[in-house]
Every structure is written in structure tokens, then in C-alpha cells.
């Protein structure tokens, strides 16, 4: 660190993104990207928008907002777009937490939540998951903290029902509950329909996974118009042109092609079921995932060893060193061919087959 770095960041430990090595062509199953390209309309609209890059992008994202509002059956002032959902999560920490309003989230969840809390000087409580990695919803009732829950959770893939989410929202009338639905399209139910019933619910989604647009950086939040206005206050105080014109245009294209979206999600779900079945046959112990990844450990082989051996074989999965997670690997569900390569590679690891 330089001698100029503000002391307010003395304790800040940045988020570590999944590795992106370039030394060889990996089968990349470590960052929950889609194996499929974005839909053609998204690419086509982005190309058209590229011809007008001399102009600033629309800070109000009007065309995208109109398309999305119709798509989700909400009003235009009930949605805000951001540069990936990471940006809206940060905005939510800025807008709805401070030293008097701490944050709360599970001890095992998306690793960026504690980083955003630290970045913004927000105290936080990490609430332990149960032994089976599920969330005990009652732990979140009336806790007087801003709640952040990924649903399905990461890296476990386990989902709560909308009924359970509603219980958490209902039992926190004085605090905002942020439901991060990055993986919702792969088998869980969205809480978007609850936003008209509860003014303390913010639902966050992303184009990075189910809409194959991780590189475009597009996320959004849906909530009552007062919450969205607060988030816009933060946005207009940091980066009003947070979405570039090409991404904005691609975002419209992706919503217009619902058929392609459904086809990609169905394919991932099918490949997840196949992979789960294969891994279980090999003795792996797995959580019940509703996401585009599985979370698996093997009773006879160390988690890190599996990760390192796969890497040597040209397959990247995500390993976490955290005590409760270190026997597991999070494996992104890719194409059928990628999953076949993965299972063949696993079979070659000594100890996987007795
Ligand atoms: N939430 C969760 C639970 C995630 O796993 C991710 C992806 N790393 C994000 C949010 C952020 O995704 P993005 O910024 O690409 O929208």
C-alpha cells in the first residue's frame, strides 16, 4: 500500500474474483458463467449502439427500463439498472446501512457482502447456516439489521421458497431485506411479486448468468419506488452513466428473446441433473442445488486436492479455503460436453472410485 492510502481502508480485504488463467485453454467451471453466447438480438443491438458511442449513455436507461418494466409487470420507477449486480449490492450497503444500521447475512454466502460492509464502514453479523447448509429463517426475524440473502444461496445452491422469503420480509418491517436472485432462473422462485406488498423488499437480479452476459456487466434491482429513488440518489452521486450504451441495448435484446433464455436455462438444469447423478454415482456428497452450479465433496479425497488435480487436467472449479467449505468444490454447470469431460476427469482421481 502507498503512504497515501486512506486509513479508513486499513482493514479492507478485497473480494477475490475466480481465477482467469491464460496459460492454457481451460474448461472453465469456476465463475458460474453461461457456456452459451448471448442471444443474437443482444449482440445485434449492442453492435448498433456501438456506432453512437460518441454520445453519453442515457443515465435514465429509458428504453431498457420500459422493456424491463413490461417484462416484469412493474412500474418504470420500481426498477434501477446497475453495472452488474455487484454495483447495486454496493449501492444497497451505501443506502440502507450505516454504523447504526448494521447488515446481517449468512456466514456462508456470497463473499462480496462482508467486503461491501467493510468498504462502507458498516458493522455486520454473519448468521451461521444450519449443519446441512440451509438457512434457519427465524434467525432473521426482527433482527433490526439490513438483511442480505442470496436466493438460491452461493456457494451451496440451496433455495428458500417465496413463502419463507416473505416470512423474513414480514418480520423485519423496520429494515430493508435484500434478496439477491443472481441464480433464481435455474430453479428457484422469484420474490419480485412481493414488492407491491412490502416496502422493505429489494430484489436484485443479474444478466450475468441466465442471460449469458457476464462480460456486459448488467444488473438491476426491483423494489417500491421509494427504495428505488434512494438507490438512484446514490447512483447519481457516484456514476450517473453507470451503464454503457452497448450493454443497455444488449439488455433490451436479451429480454426480447424469451425463448432463447428459457432454452439456455432448461439446458443448464438438464445438465445439472445429469452431473448430479454422475457425481453421486462416484460417491460425491452434494447439496440440493437450484443454481447453475453444484457444491460437492468426496468422503475419500480432500477438496483442495480435487481442485488442484482438476486444474492440472485443464478443468477449473472453485475451491474455498474457509473451514466449513474446504472439503467442497463449487462446480459451474456448463455444456453437456464440458460436464462429460469433468466426470471423466473425476473418475481418474485416485480414491474417487473405490
Ligand atoms: N450475487 C451473487 C450471489 C453472485 O454469485 C454474483 C456473481 N459473482 C453476483 C451477485 C454478482 O454478479 P454480477 O455483478 O456479475 O451481476
Write out the DSSP string of 155-168. Answer: TT-----HHHHHHH
Q: Is 151 in the pocket of ligand 1 (CB under 6 A)?
A: no
- Convert the pLDDT of each residue in 33-46 to its tens digit: 999 999 999 999 99
Contact 106, 244 (CB under 8 A): no
**Confidence at 292, pLDDT banded by 50, 70, 90:** very high
Q: How far is the CA of 57 from the centre of ligand 1 (A)?
A: 23
Mean pLDDT of the chain: 97
Q: What is the mean pLDDT of residues 313-325?
A: 95
Q: Please check the confidence at residue 279 and state whether its pLDDT lies above 90.
A: yes
Per the structure block, which three cell numbers stand in for 292? 447453475
Residue 21's pLDDT is 86
Q: How far is the CA of 181 from the centre of ligand 1 (A)?
A: 9
Q: How far is the CA of 113 from the centre of ligand 1 (A)?
A: 10
Q: Please check the confidence at residue 119 and state whether its pLDDT lies above 70.
A: yes
Per the structure block, which three cell numbers stand in for 174? 423496520
Q: How far is the CA of 207 from the centre of ligand 1 (A)?
A: 9
Per the structure block, which three cell numbers stand in for 3? 503512504
- Tell me the β-bridge partners of 178: 148, 202
Q: What is the mean pLDDT of residues 111-131?
A: 97
DSSP 78-94: GEEEESHHHHHHHHHHH
**Confidence at 22, pLDDT banded by 50, 70, 90:** confident
Q: How far is the CA of 51 from the centre of ligand 1 (A)?
A: 29
Q: Is 84 in the pocket of ligand 1 (CB under 6 A)?
A: yes
Per the structure block, which three cell numbers stand in for 318? 472453485
Residue 23's pLDDT is 82
Q: What is the mean pLDDT of residues 327-337?
A: 98
Residue 249's pLDDT is 98
**Confidence at 26, pLDDT banded by 50, 70, 90:** very high
Q: Report the nearest atom of ligand 1 relative to the CA of 83.
A: 14
Q: What is the mean pLDDT of residues 125-146?
A: 97
Cα–Cα separations (whole angstroms), residue 66 to 7, 226, 253, 266, 284 = 43, 18, 13, 27, 46
Percentage of the chain beyond pLDDT 90 is 96
Q: What is the DSSP letter of 179?
A: E
Q: What is the mean pLDDT of residues 291-296?
A: 98
Q: How many CB atoms lie within 10 A of CB 47?
A: 12
Q: Is 220 in the pocket of ligand 1 (CB under 6 A)?
A: no
Q: Please check the confidence at residue 20 and state whether its pLDDT lies above 90.
A: no
CA angle 128, 118, 179 (to 5 degrees): 55
**Confidence at 18, pLDDT banded by 50, 70, 90:** confident
Residue 19's pLDDT is 86
Lowest-confidence pick of 11-25, 58-72, 303-317, 327-341: 11-25
Residue 24's pLDDT is 82
Q: Is 106 in the pocket of ligand 1 (CB under 6 A)?
A: no
State the DSSP H helix or E strand holding residue 70, giving kind and residue range, or none if neither.
Answer: helix 62-72
Q: What is the mean pLDDT of residues 287-308?
A: 97
Residue 354's pLDDT is 63
> Taking Cα atoms as reference points, which of 353, 341, 330 lies closest to residue 280?
353
Residue 134's pLDDT is 98
Amino acid at each position: 500500500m502507498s503512504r497515501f492510502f486512506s486509513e479508513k481502508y486499513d482493514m479492507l480485504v478485497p473480494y477475490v474474483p475466480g481465477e482467469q488463467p491464460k496459460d492454457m485453454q481451460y474448461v472453465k467451471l469456476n465463475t458460474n458463467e453461461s457456456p452459451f453466447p448471448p442471444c443474437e438480438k443482444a449482440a445485434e443491438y449492442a453492435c448498433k449502439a456501438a456506432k453512437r458511442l460518441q454520445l453519453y449513455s442515457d443515465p435514465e436507461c429509458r428504453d431498457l427500463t420500459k422493456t424491463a418494466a413490461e417484462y416484469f409487470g412493474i412500474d418504470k420507477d420500481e426498477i434501477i439498472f446497475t453495472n452488474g449486480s455487484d454495483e447495486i449490492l454496493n449501492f444497497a450497503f451505501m443506502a440502507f446501512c450505516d454504523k447504526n444500521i448494521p447488515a446481517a447475512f449468512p456466514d456462508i454466502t456470497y463473499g462480496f457482502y462482508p467486503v461491501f460492509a467493510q468498504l462502507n464502514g458498516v458493522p455486520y453479523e454473519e448468521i451461521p447456516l444450519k449443519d446441512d447448509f440451509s438457512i434457519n429463517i427465524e434467525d432473521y426475524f426482527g433482527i433490526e439489521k439490513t438483511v442480505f440473502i442470496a436466493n438460491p444461496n452461493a456457494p451451496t445452491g440451496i433455495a428458500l421458497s417465496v413463502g419463507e422469503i416473505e416470512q423474513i420480509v414480514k418480520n423485519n418491517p423496520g429494515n430493508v431485506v435484500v434478496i439477491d436472485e443472481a441464480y433464481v432462473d435455474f430453479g428457484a422462485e422469484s420474490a419480485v411479486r412481493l414488492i407491491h406488498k412490502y416496502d422493505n423488499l429489494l430484489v436484485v437480479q443479474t444478466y450475468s448468468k441466465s442471460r449469458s452476459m457476464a462480460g456486459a456487466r448488467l444488473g438491476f434491482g426491483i423494489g417500491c419506488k421509494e427504495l428505488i429513488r434512494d438507490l438512484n440518489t446514490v447512483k447519481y452521486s457516484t456514476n450517473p452513466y453507470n451503464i454503457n450504451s452497448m450493454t443497455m441495448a444488449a439488455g433490451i435484446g436479451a429480454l426480447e428473446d424469451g425463448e432463447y433464455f428459457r432454452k439456455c436455462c432448461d439446458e443448464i438444469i438438464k445438465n445439472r441433473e445429469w452431473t448430479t447423478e454422475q457425481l453421486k454415482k462416484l460417491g460425491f456428497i452434494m447439496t440440493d442445488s437450484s443454481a447453475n452450479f453444484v457444491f460437492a465433496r468426496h468422503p475419500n479425497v480432500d477438496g483442495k486436492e480435487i481442485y488442484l488435480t482438476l486444474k492440472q487436467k485443464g478443468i477449473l472449479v472453485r475451491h474455498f479455503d474457509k473451514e466449513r467449505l474446504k472439503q467442497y468444490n463449487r462446480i459451474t454447470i456448463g455444456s453437456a460436453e464440458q460436464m462429460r469431460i469433468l466426470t471423466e476427469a473425476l473418475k481418474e482421481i485416485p480414491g474417487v472410485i473405490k
